Chain A
Amino acid sequence: MAEYAKPLPEITAESRPFWEGCKRHQFLVQRCRACGARQHYPRGICAACWSDDLEWLPSAGRGTVYAFTVTYRTQARGFRDELPYVLAYVELEEGVQVLTNLVGGEPATLRIGMPVRVTFEDVSADVSIPRFTPA
């Protein structure tokens, strides 16, 4: 595997199951067994009712673009070489929003509301990064 130049996520106790899901190419969303609330990015407790009783719901990986921005200039390591690149908030069918990159489409063709699906980039032995691409 070629060396990956971008920063890797630091995997914490709270986010480990999420990143392990990504490794299996499965996008997991936290769901509270007590109140049913769903949340992403992973947290230690349910932010809605404070229950510790959280489970992991596999997402279908489909959603729509809520908002995005095209970066033309950055000092971010590994990203400098692929300008312009797209940061987006994607609204999953499961009801949570995800900060991600949109890949595989010309920036000029991207639109708010367009359907997208998840795709995973295997960047190291332990980490796969979830990004989204036009569906």
Chain B
Amino acid sequence: MKNLRDKYCLVGVGETEYSRGSNRTTRALAVEAVRAAILDAGLTASDVDGMLDYQSGDSTLANHVAPDLGIRLNFYMDVMGGGSSTEALIGLAMGAIEAGMCNTLAIYRSMNGYSEFRIGGTGARAAQPVRGLDLAQVPFGMRSAGQNFAPTFLRHMYEYGTTSEQVAHVKVAHSKHASQNPKALLKDRVTVQDVVGSRWIVKPLHLLDCCLETDNATCLIVTTAERARDCRQRPVSIMGVAGRVSKPRLDFHWAHGPITRVAGYYAKDIVFGQAGIGPEDVDVTGSYDAFTFTTMLQLEEYGFCKKGEGGQYVSSGVIELGGRRPNNTAGGHLCEGYTHGMSMVIENVRQLRGTVDDYCPKAAEGVHTYDYAPGRCRQVKDAEIAMNLGWAMPPLGSALIMRR
């Protein structure tokens, strides 16, 4: 496959407040996030001529967002999708520039994921007609992501001896990270006992194994390495990207290959092959935490530990700030807020710039204390390479490797 390593950069990131009740339209939220990302890059409306966004019938399309910002587009697409779309659209943005269709793109996701369209068939989504794959699932009461993923989690426990306590460490680590993040919805640190003692939602998922439905919008700016040199921030180079890679028979993956295998099994060779590095070279990960288990399964599948040893890996301290390879240093979907993956790429861009927005007084200038006590610092010292592991469902995922 073709390799565009280091030819494209992420130059701007931005987001709105994370809330559970924005009282604003997805249009207003998107406009705020896109403006913030363009300003972060030190660009203006006339510098951005491409736009990509993703949604699932729950958002405002680019044909309203771009005009609100006075942006004239040479290219745009509105894409259907949820988790794992972030990395895939970064790759498509590179492709659009490579094809000569435009020069600089804004990628956004805007959703009232708590107050309007909730995951799991509640809220406005409950009124939508049942179709497609749902036809085979809904008569049996399968509606939510948790129900869809849980058999994979249970089978992993059965085959490899993975325990609820081991996987609870993902929530513990992300809560530790969120305690350093002024933006996070949940800033309180939790214990393993808090997680395994919380009530069942969909076994083996406890309440605290599940992420937080959130209202928010987020944005990333992609351009060429050449143009990135003139932007305001230290550019972050894209070393490799794999977009929405799937297992065989995507709709009934559990019947065609081990149910414990996730899409990273197929994506890892693409993304590591482009980047020319291996898992041992990565300093920070952003493994998508729709649930505690999803973080564990992907870290394992991408080779950060051996298959089956994910439980030991995530409970070893390695994924916490101060550990060898912290994961989701902003607190992720479990604690910061749910963004369908965008926030995890935004966080890793800031990590590589060295300007994570923690409680250090001079964080914006890149001055950090590296004191990981609550309410202090969450910058990883000398982070050079970050990797995002995007998750849609067990058989579908994306990946992205970036360097400073």
B-binding residues in A (CB < 8 A):
6-10, 12, 15, 40-41, 47, 66-76, 78-79, 84-85, 87-89, 96-97, 99-101, 107, 112, 129, 131
Contact = CB atoms under 8 A, between A and B. Distances in A.
Interface string B190-207: 000000000111111000
Contact of A74 (B139, B144, B155): B144
Contact of A69 (B135, B137, B158, B203): B203
A74 B140 contact: no
B306 interface: no
Contact of A10 (B135, B140, B203): B135
A79 B155 CA distance: 24
Contact of B151 (A15, A72, A88, A96): A88
Nearest to A73: B201
Interface size class on chain B is: 35 or more
Nearest to B138: A7
Q: In terms of DSSP, what is the predominant structure of the interface of chain A?
A: loop
B200 A70 contact: yes
A97 B252 contact: yes
B151 A71 contact: no
B152 interface: yes
Contacts of A41: 136, 252
A65 to B, nearest CB: 10
Given A70-B200, A72-B199, A72-B203, A112 B138 contact: no
Nearest to B206: A72
Interface of B: 120-122, 126, 130-131, 135-144, 147, 150-155, 158, 199-204, 249, 252, 254-255, 259
Most B C-beta atoms less than 10 A away, residue of A9, A79, A84, A96: A9
B260 to A, nearest CB: 9
Nearest to A10: B135
Given A70-B200, A75-B121, A87-B140, 17 more contacts: A9-B136, A9-B138, A10-B131, A67-B259, A68-B151, A69-B147, A69-B153, A69-B204, A74-B141, A87-B150, A96-B255, A97-B252, A97-B254, A101-B141, A107-B203, A112-B158, A129-B140
30 contacts: A6-B139, A7-B130, A7-B139, A9-B136, A9-B138, A9-B139, A10-B130, A12-B135, A66-B155, A67-B158, A67-B254, A71-B147, A71-B203, A74-B143, A74-B144, A75-B143, A76-B141, A78-B141, A88-B151, A89-B254, A89-B255, A89-B259, A97-B252, A97-B254, A99-B142, A99-B252, A101-B141, A107-B203, A112-B155, A129-B139
Contacts of A74: 120, 141, 143-144, 147
Given A6-B141, A9-B139, A72 B202 contact: yes
A41 B251 CA distance: 10
Contacts of A69: 147, 150-151, 153-154, 202-204
Contact of B142 (A40, A47, A78, A87): A87
B255 A79 contact: no
B200 to A, nearest CB: 4
Contacts of A6: 139, 141
A69 B153 CA distance: 9
B218 to A, nearest CB: 26
Nearest to A78: B141
Contacts of A10: 130-131, 135
B121 A76 contact: yes
Contacts of B254: 66-67, 89, 97
A70 B202 contact: yes
A-B residue pairs, 5 tightest by C-beta:
A69-B150, A67-B151, A97-B255, A79-B141, A70-B203
B203 to A, nearest CB: 4
A110 to B, nearest CB: 10
B167 to A, nearest CB: 15
B202 A99 contact: no
A107 to B, nearest CB: 8
B135 A9 contact: yes
A56 B137 CA distance: 21
A47 B248 CA distance: 11
A67 B203 CA distance: 12
A67 B254 CA distance: 9
Most A C-beta atoms less than 10 A away, residue of B120, B131, B202: B202
Nearest to B144: A74
A66 B259 contact: yes
A107 B200 CA distance: 13
Most A C-beta atoms less than 10 A away, residue of B139, B151, B201, B249: B139
Nearest to A9: B139
B139 A8 contact: yes
